[in-house]
Amino acid sequence: MMPGSLRIDPARLVARIERLGGIGALEGGGVCRLALTPSEKLGRDHLVAEMTALGLDVTVDAIGNIFGTRKARREGPAVLLGSHIDTVATGGLYDGALGVLAGLEVIATLNDAGVETELPIAVAAFTNEEGSRFAPDMLGSLVFVGGLHLQEALDIVSIDGKRLGDELTAIGYAGTGHGPKEIAAYFELHIEQGPILEDEKIGIGTVMGVQGISWTEITLNGRSSHAGTTPIRLRRDAGLAAARIAAGVGAFVREMGGDQVGTVGVLTLSPNLVNVVAQKAVMTVDLRNPDETLLKQAEARLAALIETVTDEENVTFETRSLARFEPVDFAPVLIDQVDETARALCLSTRRLFSGAGHDAQMIARIAPAAMIFVPSVNGISHNITEFTAAADLANGANVLLQVTLKQALPTNGEETR
């Protein structure tokens, strides 16, 4: 069989997803595998077993990233496929897991066909991509590319008060190995997590890049007092200040328009009582834009908003950056290759930017990278009802298979390096 005619086994891919989805399963169909928890350890153990069964050389690095490598005719830069298997607390079966398991399906397809590649193919599962338990998100891939010092990452404390390095050791994934020393190309297959592809009835999203992300934690300090006896003019109401900032974020992102988005995802009040003016509020603001200049403008508007509101409400504030990543453009040659490959498979395509952060944006710092999106039903993700149809999963995996082969079996100098 010619490599160009190879296709993945859709039923086998779905079965892989369902088996991993049973680890940390939630009632209603979702999954909870927060990074470095016992349930994620079980997911990691399952993944390592799957890699080993496929004959891959499995290594784990010091931040817990897992790599399974298929040998080639010669040593050289690896074609790396990957994503993550950690989830948010109420996650679905496909976010992250698809990219890793489709990578294994690519390997299984090549094994079945007896195809020997010119370059090694490696599949990666990066640590703490979601950032739900440890900040920042994409932490494992960020350490892998040298963007965050290992010791600094190991010393990060989780939302439940646990040190990352201790948790990594506790689950047995503080490794001593390493991933590929050189990467020819990186591909990440992912569900879109948005509505565009489904709404426009497009089969494959060709991702041009990832928009910039700015996460800020704001702590507001006022004074608790009686809700009935304290005049408005004498209050130092941290809750009201937080509400005004939240409303202000909504107002200025609408005014900026375009691709600018903003989200207040966390808001906690203390003492959190119905008849007491809040003494303290802690909130987060998530700003995103594919244009770095506009993202900086949004950050400036947030800073001005905080100054104005806290002055008027007579509360003090502190801010802390939780994550800050500039927009990332993927490799044009790989973007074109994804497009061309999908069309050759008779699949419709659309170029778009990712609104969510992904490990691919970190790998793009050191190697050519690209992403492939498949539709999400109703645009829903980070939700137990997250779903992508089996046919769409197969389409994305077949594109992944063929672009991988174009890199790992290069002809006429087609590889990107």
Residue ranges of the annotated binding site are 84, 95, 130, 190, 382
- Token readout for 252 is 């200025």
Q: Measured between alpha carbons, how far is 164 from 1 in angstroms, rounded to an integer?
A: 47
Output b/e per residue, 345-379; b: 16+ Cβ within 10 A: eebebbebbbbbbbbbbbbbeebbbbbbbbbbbeb
- Token readout for 288 is 């995103």
- Token readout for 254 is 């609408």
Task: End-to-end CA distance of the chain: give it in Å, rounded.
Answer: 27
Question: Which residue reads 């086998």 in tokens?
Answer: 12
Closest CA to 368 of 316, 403, 416, 415: 416
Cβ–Cβ under 8 Å, residues 95 and 17: no
Q: How many helices (H) and strands (E) does the chain have?
A: 12, 14
Q: Name the 3-class secondary structure at 321.
A: strand
Binding region for Zn(2+): 84, 95, 130, 190, 382
- Token readout for 46 is 């399952």
Closest CA to 372 of 211, 195, 188, 197: 188
Residue 307, Cβ density class (10 Å: 0-12 exposed, 13-18 middle, ≥19 buried): exposed
Q: Measured between alpha carbons, how far is 283 from 240 in angstroms, rounded to an integer?
A: 12
Q: Which amino acid is at 276?
A: V
Residues forming a β-bridge with 187: 81, 370
Residue 74, Cβ density class (10 Å: 0-12 exposed, 13-18 middle, ≥19 buried): exposed
Closest CA to 133 of 171, 99, 179, 177: 171
Cβ–Cβ under 8 Å, residues 204 and 348: yes
CA quadruple 24, 27, 29, 32: dihedral positive or negative?
Answer: negative
